[in-house]
Amino acid sequence: MLLRLSTLFVRTLREDPADAEVASHRLLVRAGYIRRAAPGIYTWLPLGLKVLAKVEAVVREEMEAAGAQEVHFPALLPKEPYEATGRWTEYGPNIFRLKDRKGGDYLLAPTHEELFTLLVKDLYSSYKDLPLTLFQIQTKYRDEARPRAGLIRGREFVMKDAYSFDVDDAGLEASYQAQRDAYRRIFDRLGLEYVIVAATSGAMGGSRSEEFLTPTAIGEDTFVRSAGGYAANVEAVTTVVPDAIAYDDAPQAHVEDTPDTPTIDSLVALANAQHPRPDRAWTAADTLKNVVVALVQPSGERELLVIGLPGDREVDLKRLEAGVAPAEVETAGDADFARHPELVRGYIGPSVLGPNGAEGSVRYLLDPRVVEGSRWITGANEQGRHVFDLVAGRDFTADGTVEAAEVRAGDPAPDGSGPLELARGIEIGHIFALGRKYASALGLTVLDQNGKAQVVTMGSYGIGVTRVLAALAEANHDERGLAWPAHVAPAQVHVVATGKDEAVFEAAESIAQTLHSRGIEVIYDDRPKVSPGVKFADAELLGVPLVVVVGRGLAEGVVEVRPRVGGTAEQVAVAEAADRVAELVDSLR
């Protein structure tokens, strides 16, 4: 492949696009790899398409090596299968819906569990047909509320989705591991750092799921890990629950005036000053904060919920949403409070909530740290008053517990492997042991050895292919531009001819042709009237791993060969240039 910049359909931009928040987005647009067509919807220009094809090829090869067979489903699908599993409703506004000319309901598929299940049901009927893993590399659609960061959260994007079908749990485990191993090989080959973290299954359902995250400060997902090897998405972290506390000797609860305590800090200060605890000082962790939120079901139904948690922690909305999926969480508004006059803002306490309150009380869920016997300062449901020494289990109960409190660095890992540290990452893969949810809903059974129908157990495995490309750009760039790893770069060598000397262009052409004839992919900057400065800047922006400069040195019989990043420039005799470059290309592979 030999691409000449004089004719290649690319234009580099000196200015960052106005809507670009992250480096990958900024640089992919500036270097002419992609172009925005609508919010979260991108056009692929020739260079971008070449990189995308290389990423897809790695994914496809490893899927096939893992025994998965490629198929291809439509993106435009009728609603019926998604209704059968409940997802037509659960997805709420997150999918694109449309009607055809006959009024039939359709969607643009965000993922294809239903269709794969129906296809296997259509073709297979015996345990002897299994195990089976199918995959596709296909365009997917999600109507994201906030498309952002270019390809990282788009509304039309390319995904590799695979689905496994097994007769029993052991089979599912083997299929799951085969995909997990294939994912490791894919990201290893792409040179993309990754962490595998325990995750929640959310609307997908299923017993177990893990995410592949690539660590980066601009990541949307927060994850935790311990020195002892625990790793999880924050949504999946479970709280280490303290033991219950004996409360036989606990003082009786007592309501106190607490004027001028608009914050937890001021409340704690007043408590220590006016109602000191004999054994130690009160801290924010001794206050029980009751946070009101509204749950909105996909059907639109709205319900208030109060979360009780220690005052030193905030509610983490993403953790809460993972716990209440498919409902979404909104802030409670004036109208909500107007319907519940028992909720005195700033002074809400357990006695009016859930099982403690009157008929029709707002549902009340507690952080798992609020164990039986724990003592709290909390709202007394009156302006300017709090209740002290309120003991969980003795003075109040709740409708259950919820993992909604923020996870903090230093919290203990649930498996006892030490304190957690927090980091951010981009989700590049997600694997689910789905179990029998979809097969049950859609009636996918096979006959077992005894001729008895068995519901098939499934896994589903996704890689965001376009997002992986963005993650690669995120991990491989500097302030001057992209810096692709050789195996995904649009070309391995970028030959630059500078000046106006015809001999320079002839020598550069000859080197480019020689490399091309050896199967090396070459971009050749043969533009006649472009300054060396612009050509060098473009080479750095495009990010091809090796740059060959043919220019003034040619008078002394040398050309310059330099890596895009690291290493140093070499002066190479023009006659040996192609050999030396080929050698360097080999060393990059």
Which CB, 1 or 281, lies closer to a copy of itself?
A: 1
By CB under 8 A, tell whether 70 contacts a copy of itself.
yes
Q: How far is the CB of 38 from a copy of itself (least distance, A)?
A: 5
Find all residues with CB under 8 Å of 352, minimum gap 6, and list them. Answer: 342, 343, 358, 361, 381
Q: How far is the CB of 219 from a copy of itself (least distance, A)?
A: 24
Which CB, 22 or 107, lies closer to a copy of itself?
A: 107
* Amino acid type, 468: V
Determine the angle formed by the axes of helices 465-475 and 23-30, rounding to 10 degrees. Answer: 100
Residues β-bridged to residue 334: none
At residue 314's C-alpha, the angle toward residues 310 and 317, to 5°, is: 130
By CB under 8 A, tell whether 149 contacts a copy of itself.
no
Find all residues with CB under 8 Å of 517, minimum gap 6, and list them. Answer: none
Q: How far is the CB of 318 from a copy of itself (least distance, A)?
A: 20
By CB under 8 A, tell whether 449 contacts a copy of itself.
no
Give residues 76-105 in contact with a copy of itself (rule: CB under 8 A). Answer: 76-78, 93-94, 96-98, 100-101
By CB under 8 A, tell whether 171 contacts a copy of itself.
no
The region of 135-143, 223-231, 240-248, 381-389 touching a copy of itself under the rule CB under 8 A is 135-143
Which CB, 360 or 528, lies closer to a copy of itself?
A: 528
Which CB, 167 or 213, lies closer to a copy of itself?
A: 167
The region of 141-149, 204-212, 330-338, 574-582 touching a copy of itself under the rule CB under 8 A is 141-149
Which CB, 145 or 241, lies closer to a copy of itself?
A: 145
Distance CA(368)–CA(238), nearest Å, equals 9
Paired tokens of 171? 């089979």
By CB under 8 A, tell whether 32 contacts a copy of itself.
yes
The region of 32-40, 307-315, 361-369, 545-553 touching a copy of itself under the rule CB under 8 A is 32-40
Q: Are 481 and 542 in contact (CB under 8 A)?
A: yes
Q: Are 287 and 275 in contact (CB under 8 A)?
A: no
Identify which of 313, 299, 287, 469 has the alpha carbon closest to the alpha carbon of residue 378.
287
Q: Which one of 4, 19, 71, 245 is in contact with a copy of itself (CB under 8 A)?
A: 71
The region of 43-51, 309-317, 384-392, 577-585 touching a copy of itself under the rule CB under 8 A is 43-51
The region of 2-10, 262-270, 394-402, 518-526 touching a copy of itself under the rule CB under 8 A is 2-10
Give residues 184-203 in contact with a copy of itself (rule: CB under 8 A). Answer: none
Identify which of 139, 145, 111 has the alpha carbon closest to the alpha carbon of residue 39.
145
Q: b/e for 560-582, b at 16 or more Cβ within 10 A?
A: bbbebeeeeeeebebeebbeebb
Q: Tell me, what DSSP letter sits at residue 555?
A: G
# binding residues, a copy of itself (CB under 8 A): 48
